[in-house]
């Protein structure tokens, strides 16, 4: 498969990747296309912190229906991300650790709580998120 | 005059700029990511409540639905329109200014 | 009511083209006339006929073209903005034509309302 | 010339156009391409209010030199806009009125004064700008 | 130092591609290796060979191609993002190749640093 | 850790989000329209002065020049780098986070 074709020697390399989602869904495509990147990364069995902060927290709110605006509903893909995370936790042959995180301050500023989200998330305050950032090797999104 | 706002108030300054300069007696229509401004209980709800004193305020229903915002979460006094209602607002309120 | 529409962003990346299309379609259904849709800035990318979205996604290039064909809407792509971005006759989708910025001022003069969709 | 080719009957129509510049130059192309629109509009001899507010006020700051960033300096074009305005004022055969306006609040928030600008501008407070907006037939930019 | 670069916006509309190019050039001049530049989102528009800027403006499509040719930089355009936006082999500029998103994760693993330029 | 900020603080919330979460002891580099944050006397100067307590702060000279911001207008403590210096910062501070 083209998507896992390799050119560099990365045998045995493990890194911490952060996917930082800060944009609202539908108004721009960033939320949707970064999801494609997250899913591809699973094939490489790397650690991933999938973070929702600022307007990115709106990406995982329940009840999206963009059909009347003529757009595609990519909301179910977040469930796939959640499944990948759970599979990695359950399968002892897979070393990768995935985290799905919401920044507390962003969530509260928007009047949201974890009940509003379609997936299970870990809520971190800015200071805890800061500590997690310091552990990353590569940060995508923004 | 009809003002459209298509950006989240958390991300951009369009809402503030519109409220500072929009002539009284017109209408503001929130579309696309702008619809996040119309929900109750956010840090920007007060600004929109203030706007309701001088402007009629509308929100595009299809964009609310896209983002999972139920109509019972809207700030009181905001009316929901569909694309057909959007066209009516353009006809009724004259010159359109899009705050991009 | 006679309408002029300006579209400033390409398809997919921003919702601008989607909203403009839905607005134009609703206006026509209500009996209004969309005199011209003018594509400026990255909006010129709406005219790239090579665009091939996934099968379950909307195809904005085709949707605009069909609107032009069925309702005689004039779809104009700005020549200066297009040259920069590589939108040329070779890849220009059906229903679009390339012309100058004056066409935007002209529709602003001729239409009862002119409305912009962008980022 | 293609740019003044006409299809609709607009003989004798005069309108008030506003070009609302709210974006910083160079980071995005909007400032540059809206200028091209302003200049084309001169051929139609319409009234124009060219307004700089929010980060748009940075467009007319003196001393731009984008060459080291590899970009084109379009700053001199604002002088052309100013000349068009002055020509319209002096030529009695031309009915169009052009205004070049800066919003006071935007200017002050950025620590700028009219001395910082490469062209002469009229400074209006939000309330005065509001009154001017109410007179417009078409608003471009945003 | 081995570098990976991600470019998220097309030429001209945002400065992202300019900054990425200047950064890549400076890194190479200092003796670092730019392993790959990956173009995603609207970044795929950097590979449109029909792009024809004004004669006194920079030509980013050509500049990227020259960097690839002179210094062996691998310029990869995301296939999924390209299909949507109509960047296909017919109009693919010299020096670019179309491949999958895995190429971005791969350079993230192989490079010492990966840096993103976007909007 | 190196943070790049390429948006005007007047237009977007990147600066605020970066300052809220950036780990101490790293560096912030302002590029593109982000360089407007580095001037003295704006409504955001105080935020950047605050950042200088926990982060080293840099600004990309070519982008200052593009926008006509003279170096004597910069907030004290901010260092100017060129593209070559940008590369050095990436090498020195490790993981790069671009606040877009």
Give the ipTM of the model, two decimals please.
Answer: 0.97
CB atoms within 10 A of CB C89: 9
Contacts of B95 in chain D (CB under 8 A): 136-139
Residue D51 β-bridge partners: D20, D101
* Residue A2 confidence (pLDDT) above 50: no
CB atoms within 10 A of CB E99: 21
- Angstrom distance (rounded) from CA E49 to CA C88: 11
**Ramachandran area for residue D22 (φ above 0: left; ψ -120 to 50: alpha; else beta):** alpha
Residue B39 β-bridge partners: B74
Grouping H, G, I as helix, E, B as strand and the rest as coil, residue A92 is coil
Query: What is the CATH classification number for the domain harbouring F52?
Result: 3.40.1260.10
Q: How confident is the model at residue B53 (pLDDT cuts 50, 70, 90)?
A: very high
- Inter-chain contact B87–C30, Cβ cutoff 8 Å? yes
* Residue B72 confidence (pLDDT) above 50: yes
Average pLDDT over residues D112-133: 98
> Does residue E53 lie in a domain region?
no
Q: How confident is the model at residue E62 (pLDDT cuts 50, 70, 90)?
A: very high
- Angstrom distance (rounded) from CA E3 to CA D127: 51
Higher pLDDT, A95 or F9: F9
Q: How confident is the model at residue D1 (pLDDT cuts 50, 70, 90)?
A: very low
Average pLDDT over residues E32-40: 98
Given a contact as 3+ CB pairs under 8 Å, which chains touch F? A, B, D, E
- Inter-chain contact E19–F96, Cβ cutoff 8 Å? no
Q: What is the pLDDT of residue A82?
A: 97
Tell me the domain boundaries of chain D: 16-62+70-141
Helix axes E16-29, E60-71, angle to 10 degrees: 20
Token digits of residue B16: 């503030």
Check contact F-C (3+ Cβ pairs < 8 Å): no
- Domain span at residue C13 reads 2-48+58-117
* Residue D95 confidence (pLDDT) above 90: no
- Domain span at residue B63 reads 2-99
The total number of structural domains in chain F stands at 1
Nearest CA in chain D to F82: D68
CB atoms within 10 A of CB E65: 20
Q: How confident is the model at residue D5 (pLDDT cuts 50, 70, 90)?
A: low
> Does residue C40 lie in a domain region?
yes
Tell me how far CA of residue B19 lies from CA of B15, B16, B48, C116, in angstroms: 6, 5, 9, 19
> Does residue E81 lie in a domain region?
yes
Tell me the H-state helices in chain C. 16-29, 60-71, 79-85, 102-110
CATH topology (fold) of D16-62+70-141: Hypothetical Protein Ychn; Chain: A, (3.40.1260)
Tell me the H-state helices in B33-75. 45-51, 61-66
Local confidence pLDDT in tens for the 119 residues of chain C = 999 999 999 999 999 999 999 999 999 999 999 999 999 999 999 999 999 999 999 999 999 999 999 999 999 999 999 999 999 999 999 999 999 999 999 999 999 999 999 99
Query: CB within 8 A of D90, min separation 6: which ones?
Result: none
The total number of structural domains in chain E stands at 1
What number of C-beta contacts closer than 8 Å exist between A and F?
Answer: 38
Location of structure tokens 């602003």: C108
- Angstrom distance (rounded) from CA C4 to CA E80: 33
**Which of D54, D61, D69 lies nearest to residue F63, judging by beta carbons?**
D69
Query: What is the CATH classification number for the domain harbouring C44?
Result: 3.40.1260.10
- Angstrom distance (rounded) from CA F69 to CA D117: 12
Q: E68, E78, E98, E104: which is the annotated catalytic residue?
A: E78
* Residue A142 confidence (pLDDT) above 90: no
Q: What is the pLDDT of residue A94?
A: 85
Q: What is the pLDDT of residue D142?
A: 66
* Residue B60 confidence (pLDDT) above 60: yes
Average pLDDT over residues D20-37: 97
> Does residue C53 lie in a domain region?
no
> Does residue C16 lie in a domain region?
yes
Average pLDDT over residues A8-33: 96
CA D60 to centroid of chain Cα atoms: 10
For E84-116, write each residue's pLDDT tens digit: 999 999 999 999 999 999 999 999 999 999 999
Query: CB within 8 A of A74, min separation 6: which ones?
Result: A25, A31, A32, A35
Q: Please answer whether residues A31 and A72 qualify as being in contact, where contact means their C-beta atoms are separated by less than 8 angstroms.
A: no
Tell me how far CA of residue D79 lies from CA of B60, C12, D60, in angstroms: 41, 37, 10
- Inter-chain contact B12–F10, Cβ cutoff 8 Å? no
* Residue A4 confidence (pLDDT) above 90: no
Q: What is the pLDDT of residue A5?
A: 63
- Of the candidates A108, A107, A87, the one whose C-alpha atom is nearest the C-alpha of residue A43 is A87
Q: What is the pLDDT of residue A1?
A: 40
* Residue B79 confidence (pLDDT) above 50: yes
* Residue A16 confidence (pLDDT) above 50: yes
- Angstrom distance (rounded) from CA D108 to CA D93: 38
Query: CB within 8 A of D24, min separation 6: which ones?
Result: D31, D55, D56, D58, D59, F8, F11, F33, F36, F67
Q: What is the pLDDT of residue A95?
A: 86
For F29-55, write each residue's pLDDT tens digit: 999 999 999 999 999 999 999 999 999
- Of the candidates A1, A2, A87, A74, the one whose C-alpha atom is nearest the C-alpha of residue A45 is A87
Residue A63 β-bridge partners: none
> Does residue E93 lie in a domain region?
yes
**Which of C23, C29, C118 lies nearest to residue B86, judging by beta carbons?**
C23
CA B74 to centroid of chain Cα atoms: 11
Q: What is the pLDDT of residue D41?
A: 94
* Residue F4 confidence (pLDDT) above 70: yes
- Angstrom distance (rounded) from CA C45 to CA C49: 9
- Angstrom distance (rounded) from CA D83 to CA D141: 21
């Amino acid at each position: 498969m083209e998507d896992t074709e390799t050119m560099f020697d990365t045998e045995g390399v493990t890194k911490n990747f952060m996917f930082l989602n800060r944009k609202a869904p539908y108004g721009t495509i960033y939320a949707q296309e970064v999801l494609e990147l997250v899913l591809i990364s699973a094939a490489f069995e790397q650690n991933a912190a999938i973070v929702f902060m600022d307007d990115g927290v709106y990406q995982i709110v329940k009840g999206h229906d963009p059909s009347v605006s003529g757009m595609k509903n990519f909301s179910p893909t977040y469930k796939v991300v959640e499944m990948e995370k759970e599979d990695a936790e359950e399968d002892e042959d897979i070393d990768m650790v995935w985290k799905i995180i919401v920044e507390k301050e962003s969530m509260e500023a928007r009047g949201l709580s974890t009940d509003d989200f379609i997936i299970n998330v870990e809520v971190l305050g800015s200071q805890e998120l800061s500590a997690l950032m310091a552990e990353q090797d590569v940060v995508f999104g923004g | 005059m009809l003002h459209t706002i298509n950006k989240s108030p958390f991300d951009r300054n369009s809402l503030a700029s519109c409220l500072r300069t929009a002539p009284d007696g017109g209408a503001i229509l929130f579309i696309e990511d702008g619809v996040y401004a119309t929900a109750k209980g956010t840090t920007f709800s007060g600004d929109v409540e203030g706007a309701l004193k001088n402007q009629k305020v509308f929100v595009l229903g299809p964009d609310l639905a896209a983002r999972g915002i139920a109509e019972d979460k809207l700030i009181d006094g905001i009316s929901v329109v569909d694309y057909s209602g959007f066209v009516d607002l353009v006809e009724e309120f004259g010159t359109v200014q899009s705050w991009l | 009511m006679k309408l002029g529409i300006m579209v400033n962003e390409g398809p997919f990346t921003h919702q601008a083209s989607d909203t403009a299309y839905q607005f134009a379609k609703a206006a026509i259904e209500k009996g209004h006339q969309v005199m011209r849709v003018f594509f400026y800035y990255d909006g010129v990318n709406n005219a790239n006929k090579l665009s091939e979205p996934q099968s379950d996604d909307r195809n904005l290039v085709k949707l605009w073209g069909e609107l032009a064909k069925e309702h005689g809407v004039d779809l104009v792509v700005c020549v200066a903005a297009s040259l920069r971005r590589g939108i040329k006759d070779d890849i220009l989708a059906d229903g679009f034509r390339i012309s100058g910025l004056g066409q935007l001022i002209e529709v602003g003069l001729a239409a009862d309302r002119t409305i912009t969709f962008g980022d």
